[in-house]
Amino acid sequence: MRRLSFVMFVMLFSLIIFAYVNPNYVSPVVNVVDEAAPAVVKIEASVYSSTYIDPFIQEFFKRWFGDIPKQYQQKGTSLGSGFIFDKKGYILTNYHVVEKAEDIKVTLLDGSEFEAEYIGGDEELDIAIIKIDPKDKELPILEFGDSDNLKIGEWAIAIGNPLGFQHTVTLGVISATGRKIPKPDGSGYYTNLIQTDAAINPGNSGGPLLNIHGQVIGINTAIIAPSEAMNIGFAIPINTAKRFIESIITTGKAIKAFLGIYMQTVTPELQKALGLKVNKGVYIAQVIENSPAEKAGLKEGDVIIEVEGLSVTSASELASIIHNYTPGSKIKIKFDRKGKIHEIEVILGEATENNEDNIQAKEFVGIKVDEISDSDRETYQIPEKIKGVIVKESTNNYISKGYVIFRIAINGKTYDIENLTDWNNVVGNIKKGDYVAIFYYYKGATGIFSFGY
C-alpha cells in the first residue's frame, strides 16, 4: 500500500513539475505572426473564363479568332495572397494571381477592403505589383530580408489565404535553395527557388515566406502536386524580386539582363560530334558582337556549366537564370574551354529593343506581336539572319508565343514581314473571305498556318 502511495505521489509530483516547464513561454513564431500578419493581404482578382457553349462554336472562335467573345464568357475569381511593402500602398504578389484581371480587390486582416490598381509585372519571373490607395489609413508593411544568405534548416513561416481561408499560418524549414522546376507550359524554368516544407496550398500564391525575424525571404509561388509528394513548396527569393521593383513601378515591366550568346544544350550527340570535354552544360554556338559576353571574353565553343554557383544543364535554364538579373549586375560564370575550367565575371547588359518608334502592333486572329529584341533572340535562339516579328501572346491553338512570323500570303500573293510596319500594313488589309497563310520560324524549323478569314 505504501509502495502504491509512493508511486502515485511521484507521478503527481512529476505532473506538477511538467506543468511548470517553460512558464509564460511565448513561441517566437507567435511574435512573427503578430507583427507580420496585418501586412499580408487577400487578393481576389476577377477574370473572364469560358462557360459552356456549343463545342462547334467554341472551336470556331478559338481556331480563327483566337478568343471567345465576352458575351460567351462568365466572370470568375482568382484567389491569392500578397503583402504590403510600402506605406504608399504597393503590394507584391505573383503575376499569375492577377494576370488579365478585370478588377482586383484586396482585403486586410482587419477586414478593410480596397480596390487595387495593377501596376505591372512579368510572366517569366511570376512577379507582379499592385497598389491600393490608403487615403488616411496608416498601412502596415513587411521588411525585406536577405535571401542570398539562407541556411538549410532555418525556420520558414508562410502566411497566406489557402483555398480562401484568410491568414492561415504554416511553419517549416528551408529545405533547399537554388532549386529549379519546369514551367507548366514548358516554356522554360523557374530557377534559383527556395524549397520549404511549410505547407503551401492553392491561394498561398503571392504570400510571404518569412524568417524567424519576421522578414520576407521569399514569395510563395508553386507546389508539387499532392498526388506526387507532400510538403514540397517553392518560393521566389525576395532578392530576385527586389531587383525589379523599381523598374516595374516606373515602367510597368521588369527590365531584365542580357548576356549575348546563341546557345545549345549539350547532349550526348552534341558532345560526341564536337568532341567536347564535358557531358553537360550549355554550348556557345555564337557570341553576339559587342555584347556583355564578348566583352567578358566568352568565345564560340565554350561550354557554360555554372552561373553564380548554380549548375546549368540546358539553354532554357541558362536564359531563365540570366533573366533573374537586371542590367549592370555582376555575375560569375564558370565554363569549360577545351577541357580546362575557367571562371570569369560578366557585367550583364540591357537588351536593346528594336522598336525605336514605339509602333503599336495590330492584333490579328488572337496574335499579338512585337519587334525581335536581343533578349528575344537569346531566349528563343533566333539567328540574326531571321527577320520578322515575334509573337508575344497568342490565344489560338496554332501560333504560339516565341514564334517569328516572317511572311504572310493572301490569296496567292506573298508579303515579307521584317518589322511591325510590314505586319500592320499586311494584316490591316486582310478582309473577310481572304485565304491567309502565315509563315513562321521556331527553334530551327519553319511552318505554315493557313486558314480562310
Residue 395 burial (CB < 10 Å; 0-12/13-18/19+)? middle
The single residue of 78, 205, 316, 375 carrying the catalytic annotation is: 205
Residue 288: the pLDDT is 86
State the DSSP string of 175-202: EEEEEEEE-TTSS-EEEEEEEE-S---T
Domains 34-131 and 257-350 share a fold: no
CA dist 190 and 73 (Å) reads 31
Concatenated DSSP letters for 75-134?
EEEEEEEEEE-STT-EEEE-HHHHTT-SEEEEE-TTS-EEEEEEEEEETTTTEEEEE---
Residue 122 known to be catalytic: no
pLDDT given at position 99: 87
Q: Which residues pair with 236 in a beta bridge?
A: 219
| pLDDT for residue 113 | 93
C-alpha grid cell, residue 30? 507567435
Quick one: cell of 255?
Answer: 527590365
Please say if 126 is a catalytic residue. Answer: yes
pTM: 0.80
The enclosing H or E element of 241 equals helix 238-251
Q: Which of 122, 126, 302, 336 is catalytic?
A: 126
Among this protein's residues, is 167 annotated catalytic? no
Beta strand extents in 351-444 (DSSP E only):
367-371, 389-394, 404-410, 413-416, 435-442
In the chain, where the domains are located: 34-131, 147-251, 257-350, 367-452
User: What residue ranges of the chain have pLDDT lower than 50?
Assistant: 50-68, 70-72, 355-356
Location of C-alpha cell 456549343: 54
Active-site residue (options: 96, 314, 320, 374) = 96
Question: 350: how many CB neighbours lie within 10 A of its CB?
Answer: 15
Domain 34-131 listed as CATH 3.30.390.30: no
Question: How big is the CA angle at 14 (ends 11 and 18), to the nearest 5 degrees?
Answer: 140
DSSP for residue 363? P
The architecture that CATH gives domain 147-251 is Beta Barrel (2.40)
Q: Does domain 257-350 have CATH number 2.30.42.10?
A: yes
Which residue is associated with the grid cell 549592370? 328
Measured CA distances, 93 to 24, 123, 212, 412 (Å): 37, 12, 21, 49
What's the fold here for domain 367-452?
Pdz3 Domain (2.30.42)
Query: Residue 271: which residues within 8 A CB-CB, separation 6 or more?
Result: 278, 279
